[in-house]
Structure 1
């Protein structure tokens, strides 16, 4: 019997018959055997009365099998046996839609009619026009009609075989804690069974066949229910579908770790790898050794996830012997390499490593060193060096723990991101000799590094710009540079930029020297002040405002000139470095009566500008203008209300400018323009610009204030 919460029967409709029903029938045909029961999954129900059970999950399969029996009974002349088995003439049938009167009435009339084609059914006198709009009834009619035409190609689907060799596993959900939400959600799906639902009956069937007196008496039916309920209790605000996804993911993890092969598709339903005792063993390991990782199985997203760290912790749990601190070490090391190396680790290599490790009695460090060939496929040289270093202190647990904790703290920072090779190199007495490692040196350098590059300082421009200026002055290799993912040059802004810079092999020894010299703010200022003015990027070292302008510390090269970028790309406000330096140096000193103070325009070619409000005259001064963008320029124009510009009026009003002889009218721009060659020396170009601007200002003051 089906309760009110049951959704419509949909496996028989046109779409689902091809997508779901046909594969279901073919599976029955292929798997039915005369001497066994083929299990097609689980039926979940709850008791309504002493004589009635309400089906809450399994409706689609059960209804499909009843309709199949009906069709076969008609074809094979066994309708009386069908009627007797289902008690179709009794007041209450053994298969009832009593909670849906229209469906129940239709089924009684259909079973009594012995019709199995659409045409014959819809032409019956008892067929009601409103049946056409009933989703369940339409689906049943289509199912019966299609089954009748399909059965000739499915020779094993006989009335006797379906009746006697098809079975279900059955669970009474009255005993679960999930309540009405479970009932409603389970029956709102009407979709293909999940991997777990398909594999589950096979596992129970396998267990039942294999069971003998020496087998465990574990109640796996109850245990499976408990596993699902455990996922349910952890799902939080996620939908109940997350429980299905978690169970599927867990089954896949067991299958992958046992086969040592990645399985991105569905786990094969019938396989010789999985078993109920094995599943039990794995889930006990998972719950005991991965308390913070396993809840990550719960998600509403169905895409494949490798769960590498979870698998590593499960492998630790599966081991026959456990060693002190190895669970923490497994989590730390595998989290670290997954974070650092991401998808560069071959998943099958990792699975093979974990499979072998789970069988081993060795400690984690011993196993990694003893299985060198296997380990090198999973760990890079840096990780192996750290593990060798840990292992050489095995006889001194206190020192080993001190090193592990120091390394772990450094690895967790945003800049190092798990790779602390430079810190280790700086802590060796002899290069490449791990035996010469000094934990005191390591802690010394780690402390100095943290004082400059602690996570909370990285976005503090006032602090970090001073460090950037010192690093330029110190001569870091390829700094600034174009970091991965950028199209412009950067002084390092994101933590990953610093990581790339410091992991550059050429910079590792330089940074050691830098930290040897570093002794607080004064030492940074000393490095900055000693940097020669003629050296590369010296303006960034000696003029703090340049880096400050670059909010994300980027610039772009155009016309052999640096353009400062205020944000992430040059589409944002930007500044020609010569023009901006000129503006910075003159903004406080240029003071002329009736003229506004200097301003900077950060768009187009960028410019230094001033206004003469009495006559609405203004001028722009800029670098990289004129011929081939290699000249300096001053452009004089009239500020007009937008939409009222008249170039002839502007030209006439500004025509006295021609007395300066060198200014030329540019009709396209609607302004007078002076282009002049740029001296090679920047300070000389500044003096030349001063001369031209002062000449212009004096002329305008004299001409337009008479």
Structure 2
């Protein structure tokens, strides 16, 4: 067989006796349930190639590597594509009454000429499949799935289902049946046509090797089967073979750049996985940055392709990479420049930390931040001012990106377009900030949801240009995990209205106090000190939607977490009033003192005095409806909840019951939480063992539910109102 011959799957059997998948290869993967997107995309591409006219260029499935020995071709790369093609030939032959032609070409002495050596069961299944009588099977669109038909065949052993390759073959046959269910007549002939080839690949004969461990030792220093990254490197080497600097690129790929990812490896993520992930995610960024797509123009194929690259969980697929024209010479030149930057002494510790996050997480924010860094690297001048320009570029872009919801691909693509629009100003960003804002807004259009952040950045840059010392103070504040770039609340507190200016010393002090108050040990304190101390000053709760409010959650990973949590509190006047009480003393002690001196009255004081109600709210949520406060165990009232005033009254009555000191006329009390549309209630047992029910509605305790024989709700004891006023001074102030 010629080196680098272009042929169809059927062609290859005119030059070899058999094709074997060697024992050191993995199982067939394209039929796995987890590979649905790859499977459907591949079959869609094959179908398009078969349906097109003979004048069109054939579909090129790229390189297949193998070792030929004694007429048997052992496949080293191309196993997945070849297996799918074999199954496609079998099903189309059976569907189009071409089974005899199939057998003549693909069987010998009753055995399949395409076989697996990975497990005996896989080879047995393929041998049985090629001689099965196609008349037994229905390939039509409304037929029973072909896998069920095959499993029900007398020749099929159920033990074969334990073989991953057999299971994958069955899944792929079902997908082929569904994809090729419509009548078309001659697709099998088109597959085998040697004159008008529709689907081809390049065969690369590794003729200098025998199929032994030596082959893998020479191709892979660890002596194991080729990894996805090694297959990718082989594919990439073929792609750049005509590139003038291909040799230099290949050397760096195997040497300097390898060290970057070797140092970042761990038990879960070996270095070659990280290495391949870097290239796939760079392909994702470059594809998104150049796509010009919008939500209305993104197709299913776009989404599948972007997902494959971004998630980087799937195996390397030469077919998809070739079809999408990924890694053009221009793209590889950019990637080379980025990798060379990280191998140089110009790369900052922050840049290295970002690279690690880029290849170990799939967060849109991290990927957008890395794209911003990439854009800067591609425009760097390598002069003395580069470090300062990069610091300012990253500060502004990070602030913009961290104050946006980046959780949808269409928004992400728009944001990359915005970064592309403003990067011409990267080397003079502070002086060009207004022009950069205009370009950003033009690129994002209606998605430009960060206009308020731009106003903040312009304000901050104005202060920095007046006094450079502002920059350090601001960068320190912007790095707080709950603020992450948005510090307008602290800037507002530092504004002196009389002088119409911002006081930098005051700002620095406010930042220092904020760091102490928003320390994780305080935010997550089991006594809820911060929440209760804030309530002594005012209603700080953050509105989620409608009547629903949050005590604030300690999570700070995403913009969504922060914008409806402590960041929103920092921008309320109540936060400034709390900071006014913070001095050099221990913060926890200061908060406890405010709690001990609480005198705000109403529902706020009840919560301050009963912190267990905050602990009850797993999602940190409550509903405020008029004067009723409902504490939620879940995110809605579909989970159990209780009403604050009635709960506190029940708790105080239970305390007296434990002390045998209940008010006169009351023998026992219970409190009932509820869910749905019901109202929480107290069950009060009177001295004569009669029972009354009470709830809190419209600012007062009222009888609930139980009715007398005339259909009237039974009233509460006459003394109940007096006892409630005595027990609940927070809502019934003394006359």
TM range (shorter): 0.5 to 0.7
Following TM superposition, by how much is the alpha carbon of 1:175 offset from its aligned partner in structure 2, in angstroms?
2.4
CA contact (8 A) 2:24 2:118 kept: no
Counterpart-to-counterpart distance in 2, 1:546 and 1:64: 66
What's the CA shift string for 1:103-157, capped at 9, x where partnerless? Answer: 999999999xxx999679xxxxxxxx99877998x999999xx9x9865798797
CA contact (8 A) 1:517 1:523 kept: yes
CA pair 511-43 structure 1, distance change in 2 beyond 3 A = same
Q: Secondary structure at the match of 2:21?
A: coil
- Structure 2 residue aligned with 1:342: 405
Following TM superposition, by how much is the alpha carbon of 1:330 offset from its aligned partner in structure 2, in angstroms?
4.6
- Structure 2 residue aligned with 1:499: 567
- Structure 2 residue aligned with 1:676: 718
CA contact (8 A) 1:56 1:186 kept: no
What's the CA shift string for 1:433-469, capped at 9, x where partnerless? Answer: 7xx3332121111223334343321233363255234
Q: Secondary structure at the match of 1:343?
A: coil
- Structure 2 residue aligned with 1:55: 75
Which of 602, 608, 614 is residue 671 of structure 2 equivalent to?
602
- Structure 1 residue aligned with 2:609: 545
- Structure 2 residue aligned with 1:180: 224
What's the CA shift string for 1:578-597, capped at 9, x where partnerless? Answer: 96289379839975699999
Counterpart-to-counterpart distance in 2, 1:458 and 1:315: 37
Following TM superposition, by how much is the alpha carbon of 1:548 offset from its aligned partner in structure 2, in angstroms?
5.0
- Structure 2 residue aligned with 1:237: 268
1:464 aligns with 2:530: yes
CA pair 48-367 structure 1, distance change in 2 beyond 3 A = farther
Following TM superposition, by how much is the alpha carbon of 1:281 offset from its aligned partner in structure 2, in angstroms?
2.1
Following TM superposition, by how much is the alpha carbon of 1:2 offset from its aligned partner in structure 2, in angstroms?
3.1
- Structure 2 residue aligned with 1:654: none
- Structure 1 residue aligned with 2:335: 282
- Pairing 1:255-274 to 2, within 5 Å after superposition: 255-261=287-293, 263-266=302-305, 269-270=322-323, 274=327
What's the CA shift string for 1:32-69, capped at 9, x where partnerless? Answer: 989x9974223345x69799873132135446779999
CA pair 565-543 structure 1, distance change in 2 beyond 3 A = closer
Higher relative contact order (CA 8 A, sep 6+): 2
Which of 224, 247, 266 is residue 218 of structure 1 equivalent to?
247
- Structure 2 residue aligned with 1:692: none
Moved more, 345-354 or 512-521: 512-521
- Pairing 1:523-602 to 2, within 5 Å after superposition: 537-538=601-602, 540-541=604-605, 544-551=608-615, 552=617, 562=628, 565=631, 567=633, 571-572=640-641, 574-577=643-646, 580=649, 583=652, 587=656, 601-602=670-671
1:381 aligns with 2:452: yes
Following TM superposition, by how much is the alpha carbon of 1:484 offset from its aligned partner in structure 2, in angstroms?
0.3
1:425 aligns with 2:425: no
CA contact (8 A) 1:40 1:166 kept: yes
Which of 350, 360, 370 is residue 310 of structure 1 equivalent to?
370
CA contact (8 A) 1:406 1:443 kept: no
Counterpart-to-counterpart distance in 2, 1:529 and 1:367: 52
CA contact (8 A) 2:627 2:698 kept: no
Following TM superposition, by how much is the alpha carbon of 1:293 offset from its aligned partner in structure 2, in angstroms?
3.8
- Pairing 1:297-446 to 2, within 5 Å after superposition: 307-321=367-381, 323-343=386-406, 346-358=411-423, 362-366=427-431, 368-376=433-441, 377=444, 379-386=450-457, 389-390=460-461, 393=464, 399=469, 401-409=471-479, 412-414=480-482, 416-430=483-497, 436-446=501-511
CA pair 63-387 structure 1, distance change in 2 beyond 3 A = same
1:4 aligns with 2:46: no
- Structure 2 residue aligned with 1:167: 202
What's the CA shift string for 1:150-187, capped at 9, x where partnerless? Answer: 6579879742565997524678864234653546x899
CA contact (8 A) 1:582 1:686 kept: no
CA contact (8 A) 2:694 2:716 kept: no
Counterpart-to-counterpart distance in 2, 1:99 and 1:492: 56
CA contact (8 A) 1:29 1:157 kept: no
Alignment RMSD: 6.7
Following TM superposition, by how much is the alpha carbon of 1:423 offset from its aligned partner in structure 2, in angstroms?
0.7
Counterpart-to-counterpart distance in 2, 1:304 and 1:361: 22
- If the length of structure 2 is used for normalisation, what is the TM-score? 0.58
CA pair 260-469 structure 1, distance change in 2 beyond 3 A = same
Counterpart-to-counterpart distance in 2, 1:94 and 1:222: 40
Counterpart-to-counterpart distance in 1, 2:252 and 2:53: 27
CA pair 252-117 structure 1, distance change in 2 beyond 3 A = farther
Following TM superposition, by how much is the alpha carbon of 1:21 offset from its aligned partner in structure 2, in angstroms?
6.0
CA pair 680-374 structure 1, distance change in 2 beyond 3 A = farther
1:447 aligns with 2:447: no
CA pair 24-595 structure 1, distance change in 2 beyond 3 A = same
- If the length of structure 1 is used for normalisation, what is the TM-score? 0.60
What's the CA shift string for 1:409-430, capped at 9, x where partnerless? Answer: 4xx243x354211111222345
Work out the number of aligned pairs and report it: 590
- Structure 2 residue aligned with 1:41: 62
Following TM superposition, by how much is the alpha carbon of 1:339 offset from its aligned partner in structure 2, in angstroms?
3.4
Moved more, 312-321 or 337-346: 337-346
- Pairing 1:186-205 to 2, within 5 Å after superposition: none
